[in-house]
Structure 1
Amino acid sequence: MIETPTADKTVQMARLVRESFAAVETKAEELSQYFYGALFSASPDVRALFPINMATQRNRLLRALVYVVQMVDRPEELTTFLSQLGRDHRKFDVLGRHYDAVGVALIATLKRFLKDGWTPEVEGAWVTAYGIISKIMREAADKEIGPAWWKATVIEHRLASRDVAVIRVRTDQALPYRAGGYVSVEVPQRPRMWRYLSPATAPNADGTMEFHVHAVRGGWVSRTIVNHTRFGDVWRLGPSLGALSVHHTESRPLLMIGGGTGVAPLLALLDEMSRWKNNPPVHLFFGGQRPEDLYALDQLRELTITCPWLTVTPVTEEGAIAGGDRGTLATAVTQRGAWKERDVYVAGSPPMIRATIAKLLAAGTDLARIKYDPFTLD
C-alpha cells in the first residue's frame, strides 16, 4: 500500500525529485531510449501497446515526466492530470502489471543515468512519487465505467490553407467533453499512433466534432490526416482531457492567445460562450508566421459581429495584415501591458506556450491567472 507522505515529507520528496531530474534532463533522448529498452526487455508483452515508430512516444514520455515533476508538490493539479491520464490509458488495455513494469524500468533508468547521484534518499523519493502516480492512475481507470474509446466517422475534410485541414466527424455515441479540452485520436492509416487534438466546437446535440490539423514537417500522423483523410474514414477517440474551460458565471475579462491550430480550443470556448446571454469582455490574439497561416481569421471576425464582447487581433511575424500586429504573439500581447485584470488562456505549440508564458510573467502577469494545457500537442 502506498501511503500519502506528510507535508514535510512531500516537500522533501519534491525537492529530491526535481533536483535529480534536472541532473539528467539534458540527456533526454538517451534517457527515453534506455527506458523503453529496459521496459521492453523486462516485459516483452508491453511492446504491443506501443506504435512501431517510437520517436513521438519518447518525446511524450519526457514531456509527461517534466509536467509531473513540476506538479509533484501540487497534489490537486497532479491528481486531476493523472486521473485523466489513467482514464485515457484504458484504450491501451493497460493492466496493473504494466504499471509495475513501467515503475521498475523508470527506477532502473534513473539509477543508470544519475550514477553517484542515485542515493538511498533519491531512490526513496522516486519510489514514493511513482507509487503515488500509479495509484492515482489505476484508481481513476478502475472507477471509470464509460467506453475506453469512441468510434467517429469522418463526414467532412477540407483544406483551410496549404497545410491545415479542417475535419468534421460524427461519433457513434455521445462522447462527453468540455469546450477547451482535447482528446486522443487514432486514424486508420496510422494504427496505434494516437495523437492529441482539440475540438474546435463546443459539444452539440448531433454528435459532431470539428478538428483543425496542421501538417507538421516530418509528422507521421498530422501529414496523413491533412493529406489522406477520406470521407467515411472511421477514427477512434479517447476520453476528454484538459483543464481549459470557462464557466458561464465568469465575470473577469478574458485574454485568449492562440498560435496556429492552437486557436481550435479557444474557438470551442467562444462557440460555447456565444450561446450564453451574458459574457465578460474577451480579447483574442491569433498568431501565425505569415498572413496565410491565419486560416480561422475570417471565422473569428464574423463571430465579432454577433458577439460584441469579443475583440480579435491578428498577429503575423512576416507580412502585414489589415488591423493586425507584427511580431511574435508573446511580444504583441505583452507590449500592451501585463493584463492583470484578466484571466489568460494560452494555446498553441509547446515552444509558443513556453515563450508566451515567460513573456507574460516578465511583464508582471500573475501565474495563477494563466491557464494552459502543456501536454496537448505532439
Structure 2
Amino acid sequence: MDSRTVALIRTTFKAVAAEEGGSEKLASSFYATLFTDYPRVRDFFPAAMDSQRDRLVKAISYTLDRLEEPNKLLPFLAQLGRDHRKYGVEPEHYVAVATSLKTAMRRFADTEMWTDEVDRAWDDGLAIISETMIGAADREETPAIWSGTVVECRSVLRNLVVVRLRLDQPMSYAAGQYLSVQVPSRPRMWRYLSPAVPANADGDIEFHIRGVLGGWVSPAIVGQTRIGEQWLLGSPLGGLGVPRNTKRKMLMVGCGTGIAPLRAQIMSMAQRRINPKVHLFVGGHYPCDLYDLEMLSQLAVANTWLTVTPVVENDENPWWHVDSREPAREVPGMEPRRTGQIGKIVAGFGPWTDHDVQIVGSPSMVQTTKFRLMAAGTETKNIRHDPLF
C-alpha cells in the first residue's frame, strides 16, 4: 500500500475519531449498519456490546498505525484470521464487515473530505486486511477451537484464581502468546488470557485470572469455575517471545497476572542450554499481589541468567488480606523488594539501551512504563507489548 493511500485512510479515521464522541458514534453506527444489513451476523456477537464497541475502535486504530509496517501488520492480521475461525466466519462475512465500516466512516466524515480518492483508499485498505485474514484462515490446518476440561481451580487471593485445564488435544503455541477463551457461564463472550506455562505434549495449560470489577467474564471465572467444566479456546495470538540464540539481554516487566506470559517464557528458556541475561521486575499494589514469588524464586535459584526484582506500591497489605503464609521480604534467589511505582523504579535501574524490553500489565501500566523507559533513552523499536485492546 503506497504512502498516499495510507495517509488518506489515517486522516479520515482520525478526523472522525477526534470529534466529540466520535469513536462511540462510529462504533455504534458500524454495528447498527452491520446488524441491519446483514442480520445473520448478529449471532456471532455477545448480547452485551459495550466492551465490543470499545475494542473495535482500538483495533482499527492499532491496525491503521501499522499500515506502513507490513512486517508487523500482516502477521498480526494472519493470527486474527486464524483465530476468527472459531466464530465460523466465512469470506462473505468479511465483505459485510468491510462494507459496514466504510458506510459508517462515510456517514461521519466531512462531505468535502470523503472524495472518490478517499473512497478508493478505504476499499484498498479494507481489501488487504480481509484478504490477509481470509488467506491465513484458509491455509491453517490446526483446529478452529480447542476444548479444555478444568482439572484445578485454586483460589490465590479473594479476586484471583489459578485455573489448570487438560486440552482435548495438545496446542502448539509460543511461550508469551495469548489465547481467546470462552467459559460456559458466558457464551459468545470470548476473552484473551495468557498461558502461564509453555506448551506441552500432555495438553496441560494454566491461566491466572483476576476478577475485574464490573467485568462480565473475569468475575464469573473467579466465582463460578468448577472442576470438570469445559472451556473453549481459540488459536494463539501475539508476538512476545525470546528467540533462540539471541545475544540481546532482556528486560521483562509484569504487574499482577501480567506475570503469566513472562513466567511461561522463562520456564521455556530454562529448558535451553544457553540464554541471555534476563532481568524480571514483577509488581503489584500490595505484597499479596506478588502471588507467584515461590515459582519465580525457584526459577531464579536454578538459573543464574535470571534476576528477579519484586516491586510494590505499598509495603503493607490491605485490611482484608490475612494470610499467615505471607512470604518474607527477602526471598531466596531474588533482589530485595522495592517500593514505588514500577515504571519509575525500572527506569531508575537503567539505562536499558542494550536490552530488548517486554512489558505486560494493564494498558495504563504498559504505557506509563514504556514512556518512562523511552524518556530514559530506550529506543521504541526495542520495546514490545501486546495490543492494548
Tell me whether 220-229 or 342-351 shows the greater mean CA deviation: 342-351
Name the amino acid aligned to 2:208. Answer: H
Hey, what's the Cα distance between the residues in 2 that align with 1:148 and 1:240?
Answer: 11
Partner of 2:154: 158
Note if contact 2:170-2:200 (Cα within 8 Å) is conserved in structure 1: no
- Shift in Å at residue 218 of structure 1? 0.8
Shift of 1:154: 0.4
The aligned counterpart of 2:222 is 226
Match of 2:97 among 96, 102, 105: 102
1:312 partnered with 2:308 = yes
Q: CA deviation at 1:225?
A: 0.7
Aligned residue identity for 1:327:
G
Aligned to 1:25: 17
Aligned to 2:376: 363
AA paired with 2:183? Answer: V
CA distance in 2, matches of 1:262, 1:34: 34
Alpha-carbon distance between aligned partners in 1 of 2:46 and 2:351, rounded to the nearest angstrom? 43
CA RMSD, aligned part only?
1.4
Q: 2:342 aligns with which of 325, 329, 332?
A: 329
Is it true that 1:77 corresponds to 2:72 in the alignment? yes
Task: Give 1:60 shift.
Answer: 1.8
Q: Is residue 192 of structure 1 aligned with residue 204 of structure 2?
A: no
3-state SS of 2:253 partner = strand
Matches within 5 A, 1:1-378: 5=1, 10-26=2-18, 27-116=22-111, 117-319=113-315, 323-375=336-388
Residues 182 and 241 of structure 1 are in contact (CA less than 8 Å); yes or no, is this contact kept in structure 2? yes
TM-superposed CA distance for 1:111, in Å, is 1.1
Specify every segment of 5 or more residues in structure 2 that has no aligned partner in the other structure, as ranges.
Answer: 317-328, 331-335
Q: Identify the range of structure 1 (273-282 vs 77-86) with the bigger mean alpha-carbon deviation.
A: 273-282
> What SS does the corresponding residue of 1:188 show, helix, strand or coil?
coil
The structural deviation recorded for 1:198 is 0.4
Q: Percent identity?
A: 46
* 2: CA distance, partners of 1:18 / 1:316: 40
In structure 2, distance between residues paired with 1:354 and 1:374: 11
Q: Where does structure 1 lack aligned partners over 5 or more consecutive residues?
A: none
Q: CA deviation at 1:25?
A: 2.3
Name the TM-score, length of structure 1 as normaliser: 0.94
Residues 177, 237 of structure 2: 8 Å contact kept: yes
- In 1, distance between residues paired with 2:14 and 2:155? 42
1:296 positional shift: 1.4
* Structure in which a larger fraction of residues adopt helix: 1
Distance 1:229 1:88 in 2: 24
Post-superposition offset of 1:301: 1.8
SS in 2 for 1:71: coil
- Give the counterpart letter for 1:57 in structure 2: Q
Q: How many equivalent pairs are there?
A: 368
SS class of match (1:24)? helix
Deviation digits for residues 129-164 of structure 1, max 9, x if unmatched?
111100100111111122100110000001121211
User: How many Å separate the matches in 2 of 1:145 and 1:298?
Assistant: 39
Q: Distance in 2 between matches of 1:318 and 1:114?
A: 47
Provide the residue aligned with 2:323 in structure 1: none
Q: How has the CA–CA distance of structure 1 residues 106 and 327 changed in structure 2, closer, same or farther, with 3 Å as cutoff?
A: same
Conserved 8 A contact 1:183-1:238: yes
CA-CA distance at 1:196 after TM superposition: 0.7
Q: 2:353 is aligned with what amino acid?
A: K
Instruction: Give, in angstroms, the shift of residue 51 of structure 1.
Output: 0.8
Relative distance call for 1:247 and 1:48 in structure 2 (3 A) is same
Between stretches 117-126 and 48-57, larger displacement belongs to: 117-126
Per-residue CA deviations over 1:263-316 (Å, capped at 9, x if unaligned) read 100000011011112211110011112222121123212221111211111112
Opposite residue 21 of structure 1, the aligned amino acid is F
**Alpha-carbon distance in structure 1 between the residues aligned to 2:116 and 2:158:** 55
- 3-state SS of the aligned residue for 1:148? coil
SS of the equivalent of 2:281 reads strand
Deviations, residues 144-203 of structure 1 (Å, cap 9, x unaligned): 122100110000001121211100001011111110001110111111100110000011
Say if 1:353 and 1:374, in contact at 8 Å, map to a contact too: no
Q: 1:289 & 1:118 partners in 2: Cα distance?
A: 48
Superposed CA offset, 1:201-234 (max 9, x none): 0112221000011100111111111111000010
Deviation at 1:370, TM superposition (A): 1.2
After superposing the two structures, state which structure 1 stretch, 207-216 or 348-357, moved more. Answer: 348-357
Q: Which amino acid aligns with 2:271?
A: R
Residue 248 (structure 1) shift: 2.5
Shift of 1:362: 1.7
Q: Distance in 1 between matches of 2:120 and 2:337?
A: 53
